[in-house]
Amino acid sequence: MRKLKNIELNRISVNEFKTLEKLPVVIVLDNLRSLNNIGSIFRTADSFRIEKIHLCGITATPPHREINKTALGATESVEWVYFPKVVDSVNLLKENGYTIVAVEQMDDSITLENFKPAAYDKLALIFGNEINGVSDNVVDCLDACVEIPQFGTKHSFNVAVSVGILLWHLYLNHITK
């Protein structure tokens, strides 16, 4: 066994990426404060070839050195748009036929293993602030809420980790169906 060299990975160019079909998912970042989380989410979004990222509220936007440090160029491949208010992002997505799903701990949340994304055509996944979660003014706009089961002493995953877990779940259950 040997580790592959970067040239052997046959990665596509940014221009090729932009022309390819995307996973019908928009990630909505609701007031994220960590630039490293934002960059990591861009990189993960590129890996799973999602449609777009909506950056909302205090969430920083590219170009920014701290975002670029973890994004490693993904801010050039993944389409993004900024909204001062997360509710404006959600309303636009609803108007365009997206199912609005928060990734949050709520009383009526669906555990990830029971989330059947193939039932939805286009998904908007809302990931909330690292401390306060999804904004309260968005809760009434939701079609569903998904919760990632956890079994340790902490009450939440890092938001960038949560994005990776959800996108992998969608890839397994949407792309391969």
CATH topology for the 19-175 domain: Alpha/beta knot (3.40.1280)
Residue the block writes with tokens 């993960």: 44
List, for residues 42-81, the tens digit of each pLDDT value: 999 999 999 999 999 999 999 999 999 999 999 999 999 9
159, 132 in Cβ contact below 8 A?
A: no
Confidence category of residue 155, pLDDT binned at 50, 70, 90: confident
Q: Where are the domains of the chain?
A: 19-175
14, 75 in Cβ contact below 8 A?
A: no
Confidence category of residue 120, pLDDT binned at 50, 70, 90: low
pLDDT at 173: 79
pLDDT at 25: 95
**How many other CB atoms sit within 10 Å of the CB of residue 90?**
26
* Mean pLDDT of the region 121-150: 95
Q: Can you spell out the DSSP letters for 105-131?
A: --TTPEEGGG--GGG-SSEEEEEEBTT
pLDDT at 174 over 80: no
List, for residues 70-110, the tens digit of each pLDDT value: 999 999 999 999 999 999 999 999 999 999 999 999 999 99
pLDDT at 52: 98
| Whether this model's pTM surpasses 0.85 | yes
> Which residues sit opposite 147 in a β-bridge?
111
173, 120 in Cβ contact below 8 A?
A: no
